[in-house]
Amino acid sequence: MKILVIGGGACGASAAARLRRLDDNAQITILEKTYEISIANCGLPYYCSNVIDSEEKMHVSSVQKFKNLLNVDIKMGAEVTHIDRNAKTVTVNNSEILSYDKLVLAPGAKPFIPQIDGINNNSKVFTVRMLQDAERIKSHLKNINAKNAVVIGGGFIGIEMAENFALMKGVKTTLIEQAPHILPPVDKETAAFAQNEMRKHGVELILSDGIKSLSDDEIILNSGKKLPYDIAVLAIGVNPETALAKACGLEIGKTGGVKVNENMQTSDPDIYAGGDNVEVADFVTGDDVLIPLAGPANRQGRIIADNIAGFKSVYKKTIGSAVVKVFDMTIACAGNSEEMLTKKNIPFWKTFTYGFSHANYYPGATRTFYKLLFNNDGDILGIQAAGKEGVEKRVDVIATSMRNGLKVWDLIDSELCYAPPYSSAKDPVNILGMHADNILKGFVKPAYFEDIKDALLIDVRSQVEFENETIPKALHIFTPELRTRYKELPKDKKIVLFCNTGFQSYVASRILLQKGFNNVYSLTAGIELYKELVRDQKAQELSKTPV
């Protein structure tokens, strides 16, 4: 069998390697139009700043390894210019014609470059997709001794590039995001932690603003603000590379990606596709989406190989699990965000909580913020977290629970490793399940940041804590005193109780609910989340103040 693989990235390389392990007699050729194969693209921002200090470390595999160990032929600089589905041939570099029995389309995606005056052919503007992009950035930084770096786009790559610029001595870094917050896969609460962390490390954030034009020395924003720049990196996102698929008549999905079935077959049964150029089904909604992530791309390559070799294998939708380092903080997520669910008119509940990385009585424990989204049936719709240690561990557990169809109640029963240096007897995963269970059973009514302005606020912490800090206009009744002072509170007004992180206010709400109060709510994640959101809000307002 002759198999041609177009693209030597995560999906294409994985498909070729797996195919060889399944069929040692197959004739396998990778056609890569660049001179890079199996590059660790996700590490490029760290290579730009020399956190990853050698090019060799950026190579996941090599041409020699594919040829010598796997007996896979690789043609570099081989751009496929035409696919003839009837003849089952491809044309390389407009000259060489190669035949195939099965074809794998894995050309990936290309950076999105907006139509903005002054952006094209600008020697100061870069994208970060390939190793050669990183090399050009490194060379530019060195040659001009850059003082002002601007990152356009607040997604994962944008955040990583901004961090790595900021870590360079003498480089003032600004990140511009057109949306109201950075990191589109998470919601405003989780993003606030990342935004505060970035500002703490000297990155200027400009939100809800876009690029109008670029001159030789300045970037002009839609708001009229002007920024000096020595280097600008476009990190707005990517578009699926579908030119070949369109040209040969393969079906393209409504998202703009190549349409494939669960076996990663295109509308032509002899052509498979995977990676950043295909649309997949969202795990939560079932909708067709584009989710350009390395993990799914590698898995799709393996599934393609299995099916070509005659071993039925199915791609089971994409959860979108992702994690990003933001200086000393980790942000992780899986599933849908509140913004996504709202946009799709999907009903949901949400809860926020804080959990320690390990037992808080063991030295070095750090606190992590969690946001869980779920529905009336107990289905887990999404998870977000922000903290320092063990963040992705808990998100991975919940993503795995989602994959296996577990409900929020199953999180309570999750039997996770425990010893004081590693976790708590009640792991944050268990606690999230308990929160959701209490909400669904009506044991507590959750309140959120947006509910504060329309409610009677009661601080249920101790007098000392209340006097130290509280939410403006809040009254004070210590939790134990509610059992005797509850008659002081009106039953016809919405009451929001709050404490530090939400547990004491939950206890207080249970007291009042059992005293006949029906309009009593507990502020999830308490004053700690409130302070984080206010800090972010004030910083955003300050950034909009004319200088």
Strand (E) or helix (H) holding 298: helix 294-308
Q: Residue ranges of the alpha helices (H) in 335-415?
A: 338-343, 391-403, 408-413
Residue positions annotated with a catalytic role? 499
Instruction: Report the C-alpha gap between 496 and 514 in whole angstroms.
Output: 16
Which regions of 336-421 does DSSP assign to beta strands (E)? 349-356, 367-374, 380-387
CB count in 10 Å sphere of residue 24: 9
Instruction: Report the C-alpha gap between 32 and 44 in whole angstroms.
Output: 19
**Dihedral sign, CA of 40, 336, 505, 197?**
positive
Contact 22, 275 (CB under 8 A): no
Within 8 A by CB and 6+ apart from 16, the residues are 3, 5, 28, 30, 66, 70, 72, 104, 301, 305
Instruction: Report the C-alpha gap between 341 and 223 in whole angstroms.
Output: 30
Instruction: Report the C-alpha gap between 522 and 435 in whole angstroms.
Output: 11
Report CA-CA distances (Å) from 291 to 9, 238, 287.
16, 10, 12
Contact 283, 402 (CB under 8 A): yes
Q: What is the DSSP letter of 117?
A: B
Instruction: Report the C-alpha gap between 449 and 204 in whole angstroms.
Output: 25
Contact 284, 317 (CB under 8 A): no
